[in-house]
Amino acid sequence: MAVSPFDNVEFPPLEALPFRKGDPDGALWGFYEHLGAKAPDELGALNLLTERRILKAAQTEIQHGKVCSLNWAMHKPSPTPFGRRALEHKFWKWPGDKYIIDDEIAVNTQSGSQWDGFRHFAHSSGFFYNGLPSNEIVDSQGVGLPLSFDKPQRNGIHVFQGKIVGRGVLLDYYSYARENGIQFSAVDAHLITAEALEACVKAQGLKLEVGDILFIRMGFVAWHDAATEEERIKVLTKTSPSTFAGIKQGREEVEWLWRHHFAAVAADSPSFEARPTIQDWDLHEYILSLWGIPIGELFDLEELAKICRTLGRYSFFLTSSPLNIINGIASPPNALAIF
């Protein structure tokens, strides 16, 4: 097993950022290269998923042989939030052949279960993770550049191949809230605070570790699958503004996320943070752009929560393989939790 410079990382305090002079406040850009990552770094916090952490997770978390998919059906949610294109699926029999059938799909990679890559959300300075300018992705009109598959560009989703493997942890905030008299709807602008997250951690008897892959159940999938078609249309086609439960966008929440140094974070909601925002900045800016932590949204965490409750443990082995799309922005996760 190879020793990695990312096995035992001492992160600078949040107030000491940016790590590199001249970068935006809060930026960790250049830190992983400083520790030994290939420059320019495109993995961010995924560097923390070292061979040692993966092996430890496999040895400690796989005890029952139970496997749980975290991928929601690709046609859900319906309708798709934020006006994104929904899944289109067609299939046909080969002309003149009675035994062969093909199919095709067309989909916005963020219309369902997804990982946001580092080309998705820029900091207010206009730069993506590690200083990538938008003009390397789109032209002045916002149209994607004609990039070649033979010449991979920086921060494409393809760099996540074989990298999202390790210890996953679930915070079942939805169950915690109901058990503690906190009433909310997943499609209201309910603010999940750092204090509430920490209380949920303690209630579940969970010990968080550096490099964990964090999942938070906020109740959106449960709401969606219990709602009528009319209710879903009314809520999910609203654009001014969209309202969803999520992490409060405040300094305490930024500090909580920084303190735990997750390798990736994800939820079952359309937006990891609460919508609409109460700030003039987004948590996406900190998590994706400044720190290089992949964000997952619309994961199906229902069966996962049931297994965790039954087993009385909220950690598991996690493997996720995004689509190998050169220069991609986001991808379905192809994620499995193994107990």
**pLDDT of the residue at 187:** 97
Give the C-alpha separation, 277 to 281, whole Å: 8
User: Among residues 309, 305, 296, which one has the least CA distance to residue 337?
Assistant: 305
- pLDDT for 241: 84
Decide if 212 contacts 170 (C-beta within 8 A): no
Token pair belonging to 93: 């029999």
User: The domain that contains 166 carries what CATH number?
Assistant: 3.50.30.50
Q: For residue 116, which phi and psi values (nearest 5 degrees)?
A: -80, 125
Q: What's the confidence (pLDDT) of residue 157? A: 97
In a domain, 87, yes or no: no
Domain that includes residue 286, residue range: 14-78+112-338
Question: What are the residue ranges in the chain where pLDDT is below 70?
Answer: none
Residue 96, in any domain of the structure: no
Cα 3 to its chain centre, rounded Å, is 27
- Does 329 reside within a domain? yes
State which H helix or E strand residue 232 sits in. helix 229-236
Q: What are phi and psi of 223, to 5 degrees?
A: -60, -50
CA 213 from centre of chain: 9
Is 2 part of a structural domain of the chain? no
Answer yes or no: pTM beyond 0.75. Answer: yes
267 belongs to a structural domain? yes
- 130: in domain: yes
The DSSP annotation for 286-303 comes to: IIIIIT---EEES---HH
- The amino acid at 233: I
H or E, element range at 194: helix 194-203
Q: Give the number of domains in the chain.
A: 1
The predicted pLDDT at position 2 comes to 83
Q: What was the pLDDT predicted at 238? A: 84
Helix (H, G, I), strand (E, B) or coil at 282: coil
- Whether 156 is covered by a domain: the verdict is yes
Asked if residue 101 belongs to a domain, the reply is no
C-alpha distances (whole Å) from 136 to each of 127, 156, 290, 296 are: 10, 11, 18, 24
For 300, phi then psi, to 5°, come to -85, 105
